[in-house]
Amino acid sequence: MDRVKDKITLITGAAQGIGLATARLFIAEGATVILADLNADAGSAAAEELGEKAHFMPLDVSNADQWDQVVGDIVATHGRLDILVNNAGILATGKRQTIEDTDLEQWRAIQTVNVEGVFLGCQNAVRHMKETGGAIVNLSSVAAIIGTPQLIAYGASKAAVRQMTKSVAIHCTLRKYPIRCNSVHPDPIRTAMGDELMTMYDGDLKSGWDNIENRIPIGTPGEPIDIANSVLFLASDEARHMTGSELVIDGGLTA
C-alpha cells in the first residue's frame, strides 16, 4: 500500500483496458490520478467510479495544444506532475496491416497516435518535471522486440516508443534532471485491443485467443492488472535505479 502516495499521476487512454486497471491500482496505492482519454463518456464514468482521487480530462494525445492545456491545468491545480503513464495507443485502423496491404494513410494514422502521442507526452512531462522530479512509463509492446508481419505499422510505432524511452532517460540523466523514463512490453492482453488483435490474426476471436494460449509458455495471456503492476513498480521508488529500461511482461513469449 501507499507505493505512490500523494503522487500526481496522469494516465492517458485510461477510460478502459490497461489504462483503467493502472488508474485503479494507483488510486489503491495512494495516488491522485488524472484519467485522460479521447472517450469522454467512458473516461468520466471511470473517474466517477474510482472516487474523489480520480479526475477525468479529455485529451487526444496526438494534439499538441491539448497536451499543453491538460498538463498546464494539472500543474496549476495540483502544483506539479509526478508521474506520467503514456498508455493511449491504437492497434489498427480496421484494415489489414502486412507490408503489402498497408497504405501510407494507415501507416501515418498509427504513427500519429502511438509515436507523436508519446513524444508530446514525454516533452510536456520533462518540461514540468525537470525541477520537481518524476517518473515516465511508456507502453510499448512485445511487437517492438519481435517481428510482427501482421502489424507492420504498429510494430514500428512501438519500436519507436522503446527507443524514445531510452533517449529521454539518457537526456534527463545528462542534464541531471531527477526524472526516470522506462518502457513496458506486454504480450497480448485481454482488453478490447487484445480482442481486435486476435481477430486480425485469426478472424475468429475464440480460436485467436486459443492459438495465443498455445504459444505463450506460461499457458495464458496476461490480464490488465499484470501490466498495471509493472507500471506501478517502474513509477515507484522501488525502481529508483532503473531508467531507460524495458520491462517485458509476456509469459515467456519472447524468451
Residues near ligand NAI (CB under 6 A):
12-13, 15-19, 37-39, 59-62, 87-90, 113, 117, 139, 141, 186, 188-189, 191-194, 197
Distance between alpha carbon 160 and the CA centroid of its chain, in Å? 13
Q: Cβ 78 to ligand NAI, closest distance in Å?
A: 20
Indicate the angle between helix axes 40-50 and 17-28, nearest 10 degrees: 20
User: Which residue minimizes CB distance to ligand NAI?
Assistant: 17
Nearer to ligand NAI, 132 or 213 (CB): 213
Residue for cell digits 502489424? 151
Map residue 181 onto helix, strand or coil.
Answer: strand
Nearer to ligand NAI, 32 or 191 (CB): 191
CA angle (173, 72, 193) in 5-degree steps: 75
Q: Cβ 194 to ligand NAI, closest distance in Å?
A: 4
CA atoms 64, 225, 129, 6: torsion sign: positive
**Known catalytic membership, residue 154:** yes
77 Cβ neighbours under 8 A, 6+ residues apart: none
Q: Cβ 170 to ligand NAI, closest distance in Å?
A: 23
Q: Cβ 115 to ligand NAI, closest distance in Å?
A: 11
Nearer to ligand NAI, 120 or 126 (CB): 120
Q: Are 117 and 12 in contact (CB under 8 A)?
A: yes
Indicate the angle between helix axes 117-129 and 152-174, nearest 10 degrees: 10
- Cell, residue 247: 520491462
Among the options 56, 67, 154, 209, which is catalytic?
Answer: 154
Catalytic positions: 154
